[in-house]
Structure 1
Amino acid sequence: MRKFTFLRKKIQAKDRSLQENLVTKYFDDLQLNNQPVVDSNASFDSDSVYNRITESIDAMPGKSAGAGKKWMVAASLIAVASLSVLLYQYRLQVLDVVSPIAQKQIVAINGQVANLTLADGTKIWLNGGSKLSYPEAFRGDKREITLTGEAFLEVAHDTRKAFIVHTGNIKTQVLGTSFNVKAYPEDKFVKVDVATGKVGVVAPLAKTVFLLPAEEVLVNRKDNSATTSKGVDVSALTGWKNGDFIVKNMPLPDVLNAIYHRFNIEVKADPNLVKCSISANFTNVSLQNIIRIISKLVRGKAVADGAGYHLKGKGC
């Protein structure tokens, strides 16, 4: 580490007051309270911080040896002030190093619904085959979690801290509302349905889609295109968190995925059946009867396939 070169530059003025004026001007220009806050995603470059401090000090004029001690004190104060500003700008990164927040994870296996309450009071229900990663506490101006699978959220309202759900490279952002997010790995779309409040959904290089109650968006994971719908029966779509199993005009592949996550039983179907859509209330209906009903709706039959089933038939 190089030493501060406090006296490298000589001051031309002879009066002591010039030194004091220079120090005063430096602190006036500093405007500690008006320093911009850097992006929380920016990396903390300790070498850059140190260099900025030393450059600020080196740029100040020197003084004759007779005033050396007083000038050393002033320069030291400047160094401390510069460091304070930089630490303020990178305060969140510094806190993350000094006092890191523990990251937690909860998994709901297939056939299970899990629920939890986050540190801010947000309530989350996690559908079978889903995983949620979240911090033990929230720091800064954002509340961020990561979801794989499906979840229903009742977000605690906080206008100062946006709540963000990450599903791959797609973000769902709210301040305080309730909504459902479906983003299983096998899904070609990320689906968001709003129960209350207002939700913003954004994908890379795409405009933010804003949703109100009873509205839905399907974001194509391949090209980030978005398709919105209104008048959605959100209560039917989110009934899974209360043990209900209702499907309305749902494509057969999605129905079979829902069966897999609910019962942990895999059901396959012939290619000619994938265009069929199903509408039914399977709440409190046994798996065997659900398979029997679906077979009739697709004009086919179900045959045992190992531990699961295979649907065969003419199609819809």
Structure 2
Amino acid sequence: MKDITSEDIAMKVMKSTTENVELSEEEVSMLENDEEIQKSLRLLAAVQRSMLEATMPVPDVNGELEKIINEEDVNETSEHRHFMGYVISAIVGAAAMIALVFGYNYFSGIGESADKISKVETGSGETMTINLADGTEIVLNDNSSIEYPHGFTGTDRIVKLSGEALFKVSKNKHHPFIVETDKIRTRVLGTVFDVKAYPGTEASVALVEGKVEVKNMSSGKVTNIIPGQQYRMNIAGKADIKKVNTDETTAWSDGVFYYDNKRLEDIMYALGRWYNRKVVFKNSALKDIRLNFAAERKGSIQETVELLNSLGKVKVTTDSERIVIE
């Protein structure tokens, strides 16, 4: 895993979905303690959030920054660190200008691009809130992506999800809201629900309020669930319904890891995905241990591992690439 660089910290600030981004002393120092740079980054973050909430296309700032860095054949010296300050300042200014142009073009051409599809992605340790044109709010979990139109023009309001998201759907009895994944298709008129469909894992829909209709894409069977129920479909396509604590299934959207009597394997793979680590069990029997566990998602991996170890059930260690359970 690569070392964290000053451009990584810049991206962290610009990708943030909160007004104030918490940076460690080390991260602040990597931005050379330049308050103007940090202020510019936060301004750009606000611009990007506003553009996402207005369903505008957002410039690929990360990609442009990587192009500049890759073109420079310099060593990681004090001169390079000083150079990075200029690079970050330049890219912030350029990206902000691009954002303004995109915003102007969007508003001047509104109505012409309603069918244009936007795609938003998150990485490890990231969540993002998106407000759609119809008033629907989507909170996208880590390592997830969603595709949605700038405006809904047909009978159905359709979005495509990979990963996990919490949906608070604006009610419209004439225009059903549909979430499509490669495993299941969820249809609603207006409600709050969580959809999870990470590649290679079981798919699920947990209903907080309202009513939803879930279609198994392999069998074609349609199932209705009520608040407090979760529809689950395993990798083989077999589905069932169980009662769940929706506070637990949606806790991630409030920035919390919260597991009530859950299998250790499920907990660890969620942590591994969040912290971008491979999960290794030294003894497969440990996977079925059940735990009650809660922690702040903004905490470091070391803090989270310490909390796990304090339970006295297993020994958890971590390095730059793995979480090891024994």
Alignment TM class, shorter chain as reference: 0.5 to 0.7
Residue 145 (structure 2) pairs with residue 136 (structure 1): no
Question: Could you tell me which amino acid in structure 2 is paired with residue 148 of structure 1?
Answer: S
Q: C-alpha distance in 1, partners of 2:323/2:234?
A: 29
Q: Is the 8 A contact 1:256 1:268 kept in 2?
A: no
- Aligned residues, how many? 212
Residue 223 (structure 2) pairs with residue 205 (structure 1): no
Residue 293 (structure 2) pairs with residue 280 (structure 1): yes
Question: Could you tell me which amino acid in structure 1 is paired with residue 265 of structure 2?
Answer: P
Tell me which of 305, 308, 320 is aligned to 1:294: 308
Q: C-alpha distance in 1, partners of 2:246/2:113?
A: 41
Where do 5+ consecutive residues of structure 2 fail to align?
1-111
Q: C-alpha distance in 2, partners of 1:179/1:219?
A: 16
Q: C-alpha distance in 2, partners of 1:286/1:268?
A: 19
**Which of structures 1 and 2 has the bigger CA Rg?**
1
Residue 115 (structure 2) pairs with residue 101 (structure 1): yes
Instruction: Indicate how the Cα distance of structure 1 residues 99 and 280 shifts in structure 2: closer, same or farther if over 3 A, else same.
Output: closer
Deviation at 1:306, TM superposition (A): 4.4
Question: Could you tell me which amino acid in structure 2 is paired with residue 281 of structure 1?
Answer: A
Match of 1:267 in 2: 279
TM-score by length of structure 2 reads 0.60
Residue by residue over 1:85-131, the C-alpha shift from the partner in whole angstroms, topping out at 9 and shown as x without a partner, is xxxxxxxxxxxxx9882111001111011011111111000011000
Q: C-alpha distance in 2, partners of 1:152/1:254?
A: 19
Q: C-alpha distance in 1, partners of 2:176/2:137?
A: 15
Match of 2:88 in 1: none
Question: Could you tell me which amino acid in structure 2 is paired with residue 240 of structure 1?
Answer: W
Q: C-alpha distance in 2, partners of 1:205/1:311?
A: 37
Question: Could you tell me which amino acid in structure 2 is paired with residue 157 of structure 1?
Answer: K
Question: Could you tell me which amino acid in structure 2 is paired with residue 210 of structure 1?
Answer: N
Q: C-alpha distance in 2, partners of 1:112/1:306?
A: 18
Tell me which of 241, 248, 257 is aligned to 2:269: 257
Q: C-alpha distance in 1, partners of 2:287/2:268?
A: 10
Q: Is the 8 A contact 2:113 2:150 kept in 1?
A: no
Deviation at 1:283, TM superposition (A): 2.8
Q: Is the 8 A contact 2:114 2:151 kept in 1?
A: no
Match of 1:164 in 2: 178
Q: Is the 8 A contact 1:127 1:261 kept in 2?
A: no
Q: RMSD value over aligned CA atoms?
A: 2.2
Residue 212 (structure 2) pairs with residue 221 (structure 1): no
Q: C-alpha distance in 2, partners of 1:174/1:228?
A: 18
Q: C-alpha distance in 1, partners of 2:287/2:262?
A: 11
Q: Is the 8 A contact 1:276 1:298 kept in 2?
A: no
Match of 1:152 in 2: 166
Question: Could you tell me which amino acid in structure 2 is paired with residue 244 of structure 1?
Answer: V
Residue 188 (structure 2) pairs with residue 178 (structure 1): no
Q: Is the 8 A contact 2:272 2:323 kept in 1?
A: no
Question: Could you tell me which amino acid in structure 2 is paired with residue 123 of structure 1?
Answer: E
Instruction: Indicate how the Cα distance of structure 1 residues 262 and 306 shifts in structure 2: closer, same or farther if over 3 A, else same.
Output: closer
Deviation at 1:280, TM superposition (A): 1.3
Range with bigger deviation, 153-162 or 247-256: 247-256
Deviation at 1:172, TM superposition (A): 0.7
Identity %: 30
Q: Is the 8 A contact 2:114 2:153 kept in 1?
A: no
Deviation at 1:153, TM superposition (A): 0.2
Instruction: Indicate how the Cα distance of structure 1 residues 194 and 100 shifts in structure 2: closer, same or farther if over 3 A, else same.
Output: closer
Question: Could you tell me which amino acid in structure 2 is paired with residue 248 of structure 1?
Answer: D
Any idea what SS the aligned residue of 1:156 has? coil
Deviation at 1:300, TM superposition (A): 3.2
Q: C-alpha distance in 2, partners of 1:298/1:226?
A: 34
Residue by residue over 1:251-277, the C-alpha shift from the partner in whole angstroms, topping out at 9 and shown as x without a partner, is 222212221233333332232222222
Question: Could you tell me which amino acid in structure 1 is paired with residue 315 of structure 2?
Answer: K
Match of 1:67 in 2: none
Question: Could you tell me which amino acid in structure 2 is paired with residue 259 of structure 1?
Answer: L
TM-score by length of structure 1 reads 0.62
